[in-house]
Amino acid sequence: MPHALLHVLRYFLLGFLWLFFLYAIRMVYVEIKRSRAERFAPPPATGYGADHSVPLKLKVVDPPQRRGRTFELGEEVTLGRSAGCAVPLEDDTFTSSVHARVFQRGGEYWLEDLGSTNGTWLNEERVDDGPMRLQRGDRMKVGSTTLEVTR
């Protein structure tokens, strides 16, 4: 093998190793962020508006070809391109494989970004400092898909 080709192959190998380590560090960060959110979950809701006997749903608002699709929210659902997500957005190229999650704590629903590349937005505010509480009528943007929280 020519000496120049060996140098090129060596740099490709080093590049792939760096990418692997960066991906592993990102996954550790996402897991730490998720466990921190669970540990510091907000207290249960009390008083007016605390009755959540009717579960919330997510309804696709945009893009037009998916408009009207609805997804029931359970204890915890994930949104992303991965086939294992409860809210599959497989044709949205701006969505990460496991982009965000909606979970229930203390009778309320919360939205959390899972370290996505393009971010998760709730009512035009970026979700990046931990989970944000969801209410009926809220709009979330995941990739290029906009969903509305309904009953």
pLDDT tens digits for 10-34? Answer: 999 999 999 999 999 988 887 777 6
Query: Does the global pTM surpass 0.75?
Result: no
Q: 11-20: long-range contacts (C-beta < 8 A, 24 or more apart)?
A: none
Top mean pLDDT of 52-56, 129-133, 139-143 is at 139-143
How much is the mean pLDDT over the chain? Answer: 80
- Rounded Cα–Cα distance for residues 134 and 59 (Å): 14
pLDDT at 66 over 50: yes
Tokens at 41, concatenated: 């979950």
pLDDT at 47 over 50: no
